[in-house]
Structure 1
């Protein structure tokens, strides 16, 4: 089992030495070599899949995308009115139709990399064993000068079965009842991955959600006030993940610490999924995403 002290010795060149699951955060250079057919370190299994995750952005995908990618719209995996995950049956069908089994390596990126994090989290929930995220997303790919392709993606070959019970990791996702139980324990944390203005109730951040936040939650930070797509507290200027130690320190300031059962949430799930994925990369145990987040909580309880 990997420990924090062993990470620098095992991380391959080009990968993050400060992450337990260092293979799961890939660089644009690594992905460019892989898509070009070159030999790469920590190579995925045969039959790997590359998805661009987005919301109503299929037209942009067809204009320009990473070679070899297929488009995966988050509208397929979330449903109104709360934008929570679709049913397990529907989720499994979506993955099988795209050729994804539990043993398929899936690499995800996005123009908004929060969409990719949302998909990545649900892939882990489903039980896909090897899920990888492009650090910095499509913007960093372009900034590094890597080639792009145009046109629709080729139709995938569907998978006949997922290969294991679905979902394999239901503990990675909780609902409102479980979130309430977590708060009542006293030895667990609901971590609000929202801006300071959202967390303090000064603004909602969304046109369709009331202002406020969950009483008893701890602030896990997010990004700039007024921008629900910003995760600048977690990212360097190029959009890549900050050093793990920096993220751990900002969490610890508000009592979010490794080993304490922690459920991340935001407004509807995207920012929380990014925080979850980074904690997962660091090897944190007992972590989950509260899928309903403030949107669902606000429908059933008064604001702070």
Structure 2
């Protein structure tokens, strides 16, 4: 299945489905848009969503619906349970067989968390709006305001659709594969650490900031360019590859970029927020060696 959808295709799909509904005709596969507005600086994206979103888009609260903060010792954004994600998916109106499009206002660096989780939950057709809301706006497509409350859906989360690694597997990966750190380079090198208790990176990991997979407009680089980027880091088809970040959010973006490049990669959900809190876990600083 495609990983990305372009703004014109999404606009045409939504318009076609809306027209079919008005005529009482069967539209076929539904397209559901999820708005995952979130950032470290502004974790609650509700205000921005209400001010303008893709018509029909349902707001997704990353902190509350894409993470389980009752889980202890698993980092700042532990994965939700199957039951919790099922309840959220149904609130978003998702049905089995839907095409789901996720977007944000951050070049998909937060929406990728929803992309990854929904793929992990077994949904077959989940895509990111390439260029996210910036591309939608730049094309002059309309935005709606206010809240969207869809009819409840019936989709069920069944985890296992995406590879996952834990801290021990992440520690071992560099010896026989490639472990990528999707945080900013200065955090990887240990020059700054704004949120977690220790600065640095997992020994043997290679720096691959998630923003480096995007062009100046916030779109993913072409597949050939992504393949070249990751090949320079040793991440090529057939090699075991894993990705982590601060708390498992932008690492999902790295997994998506790798998938566009044709490289399968596992996600370490606990990421640095878990690793840096566990006594006895070694920490490396400075540039790659």
Which category of TM-score, normalised to the shorter sequence, fits these structures?
Answer: 0.7 to 0.9
Question: Taking structure 1 as the reference length, what is the TM-score of the superposition?
Answer: 0.79
2:158 aligned residue: 166
Q: CA deviation at 1:303?
A: 1.9
RMSD across aligned positions (CA):
2.2
1:234 aligned residue: 213
Question: Taking structure 2 as the reference length, what is the TM-score of the superposition?
Answer: 0.83
1:217 aligned residue: 205
1:72 aligned residue: 60
- SS of aligned partner of 2:60: strand
2:51 aligned residue: 63
Aligned length, in residue pairs = 262
Q: Distance in 1 between matches of 2:282 and 2:153?
A: 45
Unaligned runs of 5+ in 1: 1-20, 223-230
**Residues 210, 131 of structure 1: CA spacing in aligned structure 2 closer, same or farther, 3 A cutoff?**
same
**Mapping of residues 268-283 of structure 1, within 5 Å:** 268-283=247-262
**Mapping of residues 67-146 of structure 1, within 5 Å:** 67-75=55-63, 76-80=65-69, 82-112=76-106, 113-146=108-141
Confirm or deny: 8 A CA contact 2:91 2:150 kept in the other structure: no
Cα deviation, 1:222-260, whole Å, max 9, x if unaligned, reads 3xxxxxxxx1x1111111111222222222222222221
Cα deviation, 1:174-195, whole Å, max 9, x if unaligned, reads 2223323434xx3222111122
1:243 counterpart (215, 219, 222): 222
Q: CA deviation at 1:45?
A: 5.1
- SS of aligned partner of 1:51: strand
1:46 aligned residue: 29
Q: Distance in 2 between matches of 1:145 and 1:133?
A: 19
1:202 counterpart (191, 202, 212): 191
- SS of aligned partner of 1:264: strand
Cα deviation, 1:69-89, whole Å, max 9, x if unaligned, reads 111110211133621212222
Ranges of 4+ aligned residues in structure 1 off by more than 6 Å = none
1:303 aligned residue: 283
Unaligned runs of 5+ in 2: 19-26, 39-43, 70-74, 285-289
1:294 counterpart (272, 277, 288): 272
Confirm or deny: 8 A CA contact 2:35 2:111 kept in the other structure: yes
Confirm or deny: 8 A CA contact 2:180 2:205 kept in the other structure: yes
